[in-house]
Every structure is written in structure tokens, then in C-alpha cells.
Amino acid sequence: MAANNMRAIPVGYAANDDSTTRLPEAEFFACGPSDASVDFYGINMYEWCGNATYETSGYEARTAEFANYSVPIFFSEYGCNVPAPRIFTEVLALYSSPMTDVWSGGIVYEWFEDVNDYGLVTSVGSTVSLLPDYTAFSSQINKVSPTQVQASTYTPSNSAPTCPSPTAGVWQAATSLPPTPNGGLCDCVLPSLGCAARTNLASTNISSLFGYICGDLAVDCSGINANGTYPGQYGAFSPCNATVQLSWLMNKYYDAQSKAAGACDFGGAATTQSAQAASGTCSQLLSEAGSAGTGVVTSTNGAGGGPAASSSKSAASAVVGSWGDVRLTVAVVAAFLGGVAMVVV
């Protein structure tokens, strides 16, 4: 956003309360220079259940654990619902010292009642009814006496943690980022191919075809690979949608078989077409990507316009990292709520 002169919107990350990854993950997102770290961090915290205390709930341990954290941190979810109804005795602890020295409050989960029984209210049509949990929370939050600190007189004292060095089996999240999606490159691919996937394939067929081509046929799939584990390997076509990626792989196999009859069939999932010679910017983009798809594409304009514009629909993707024996599949969701961008797992 800063590189494109966009207005400043805080960007943060909300994580679950996992004892194995809780602190290393939080430090990872806060490490390094401020333009590379998160602006705030949230933890979904359900350690206080029923009539617990600051000491017995785990709140004391978590507060000590994050006492030196360098960015604002808060409970992105809280409100254990066992036993029910909730009494929310944790509210006074969260909004008083020593927790206010570390935590910036929290968000109760959740507003409307759902199948998981965490709601504060129920709704039927346009009618909203208060639940006992709402009354309990309201009673507790009204006991809070917040104090104010003027931003002009506040000087943060905690330093950003040192970024972890990627180590096999310990912290494998790569520091190298995937390429910026280049709509021009993705739009240039299909017309240049002599073999392409049919457009009406079901998602299950697409998934199995990737496995068949990259596995059974042993086609080098580096050009579409997106691997967020150290050292971080991303093919030039990794940001393109699944149809473009699959077509590029099919054509690669077709070419390797000297365009033999039947080499562009894949059980009826592909068809031959008249390949168009790339010209102009398309020629430059495809040349930069290279025949193996592992080149670095720096040109930004093509048939689809700028680097982030494309007429093709993007396929959902996931970045997989690992810490210790825990595998983390991170689904990235940008939620602009009240001027705040949050990434939630």
C-alpha cells in the first residue's frame, strides 16, 4: 500500500491460541522494520471459562508472555461459553491493570446467536432479542473505568523482536514473497498454447489432473509452484488461475511429446488449438517467464493491462508453512472493518 501511495490503513493478523505456535508466530509477524511488520496483532483467546480468576485462567501467564510485545495486541475473540450462560468475569481483568499494560482490550465472540451458541442476541426477521449472555456482558463492561493516554505524550519502549532464521524443522516460513499477480502475463498464456484445458472442467477434475501431470507424468511443475516454506519458491505462473496453470502444464507435456497425436487429450480434458505467436509486450512477458516458468517477470503491461488486472477469474490459493511438527495452512482473508485490514486464520 505504501509503495502505491495508498491511504494508511493499519494491517494486522489474528491467530488462534495454540501453545506451540502462539509466541513464535506472534514474534514473526512483529519482527523487522515497521514497514514490514504488522501494525497490530490479535489472538483468539478462550482460556477464561466460567468463574475463573486472573491466575487460574491463563491470563496471567499470557500477559507475562507478551509483556514486551512491540505492537498493539488484543483479544480478537474471547468469551468461553462453557459453562452457559456466560458470566463474563474476565472483562474486569481485561480492562484493568496489569492487563491494560499489555493488552488493548478485546472483541467478544459473537453478536448474533448461531449453531455454536456464542451469540449475545437472537434475531428473527427484523426483531432482535437479548440473551442472558448480553445482560451479563453489559453488566461487566459497565463496571470498567477506562483511563486515557494522549498520543502526543506516549512513547513506545518495546523493541521489535529479531526475525527468526529459517531452519529446517523449526521455523520454515520463507521471507521471500510470491510475485505480484501479473494480469498481463496470465492473459498472454492461453493464446500462445497449442494445447489447452477445456473450460468446463469440474474443480475435482482439475485437482486430479495437476496430480497426474506433476506426479505420474513427471512434468516439471516449478512454473506454477507456490511454496511458502524456506527458501520460498514461486513459479512465474503461480499467481494465475487454475485453468491457465493447467493449460500451461498440458502444453508443456504436449511439446515434450513432439506434439504427438493423443498427447493433448488427458482423458478428454484438453484440446488442441492454433497457437498464436506472442508479440509486443506478451512476447516480452513470456520471455521473462521462460520456458520452465521459473524466470522473474518485471514487465507490467500486457493483454490484460497492469500487474494486478486480469479478465480471468482467480483461483483460491493457500500458502503452507510449518513450525516444528505443526503444519499451518493459512487462508488469507482481507476484512476492511472500520478502516482496519485484518488477516484471519
CATH of the domain at 255: 1.20.58
Q: Minimum mean pLDDT among 71-80, 176-185, 198-207, 317-326: which range?
A: 317-326
Dihedral angle of Cα 292, 293, 297, 303, to the nearest 10 degrees = 120
One-letter amino acid of 40? F
3-state secondary structure of 125: coil
Q: Is 170 contained in some domain?
A: no
Q: How many domains does the chain have?
A: 2
Residue 69: what pLDDT?
A: 97
Reply yes or no on whether the pLDDT at 338 is more than 60: no
Give the pLDDT mean for 120-134: 96
One-letter amino acid of 215? G
One-letter amino acid of 220? D
Q: Is 206 contained in some domain?
A: yes
User: Does residue 97 share a domain with residue 202?
Assistant: no
Neighbours of 299 (CB within 10 A): 18
- 79 within 8 A of 46, measured Cβ to Cβ: yes
One-letter amino acid of 3? A
Give the pLDDT mean for 113-137: 96
User: Does residue 260 share a domain with residue 279?
Assistant: yes
For 299-323, write each residue's pLDDT tens digit.
875 444 333 333 333 333 333 333 3
Instruction: Say what angle helices 242-256 and 203-211 make with each other, to 10 degrees.
Output: 40
Q: Which domain holds residue 130?
A: 11-163+329-344
Distance in angstroms (rounded) separating the CA atoms of residues 68 and 70 = 6
Neighbours of 219 (CB within 10 A): 16
User: Does residue 57 share a domain with residue 196?
Assistant: no
Residue 329: what pLDDT?
A: 28
- 74 within 8 A of 45, measured Cβ to Cβ: no
Q: Of all residues in the chain, what percent carry a pLDDT higher than 90?
A: 70
Residue 168: what pLDDT?
A: 62
Residue 173: what pLDDT?
A: 80
Reply yes or no on whether the pLDDT at 334 is more than 80: no
User: Does residue 196 share a domain with residue 305?
Assistant: yes
Burial class of residue 223 (count of CB atoms within 10 Å of its CB; 0-12, 13-18, 19+): buried
User: Does residue 143 share a domain with residue 255?
Assistant: no
User: Does residue 203 share a domain with residue 154?
Assistant: no
Residue 337: what pLDDT?
A: 34
Residue 102: what pLDDT?
A: 96
Residue 333: what pLDDT?
A: 28
DSSP state, residue 212: I
Residue 318: what pLDDT?
A: 30
User: Does residue 152 share a domain with residue 21?
Assistant: yes
| pTM of the predicted model over 0.75 | no
More confident residue, 331 or 258: 258
Residue 164: what pLDDT?
A: 80
For 208-233, write each residue's pLDDT tens digit.
999 999 999 999 999 999 998 888 89
Q: Is 176 contained in some domain?
A: no
More confident residue, 320 or 271: 271
CATH of the domain at 78: 3.20.20.80
User: Does residue 189 share a domain with residue 139?
Assistant: no
Give the pLDDT mean for 47-63: 97
Give the pLDDT mean for 246-252: 98
User: Does residue 22 share a domain with residue 71?
Assistant: yes
User: Does residue 251 share a domain with residue 145?
Assistant: no
Q: Of all residues in the chain, what percent carry a pLDDT higher than 70?
A: 86
Burial class of residue 43 (count of CB atoms within 10 Å of its CB; 0-12, 13-18, 19+): buried
3-state secondary structure of 191: helix
Indicate the pLDDT class of residue 151, thresholds 50, 70 and 90: confident
* Grid cell locating 109: 465472540
Q: Is 6 contained in some domain?
A: no
Residue 238 main-chain phi, psi, to 5 deg: -60, -30
Indicate the pLDDT class of residue 1, thresholds 50, 70 and 90: confident
* Grid cell locating 33: 522494520
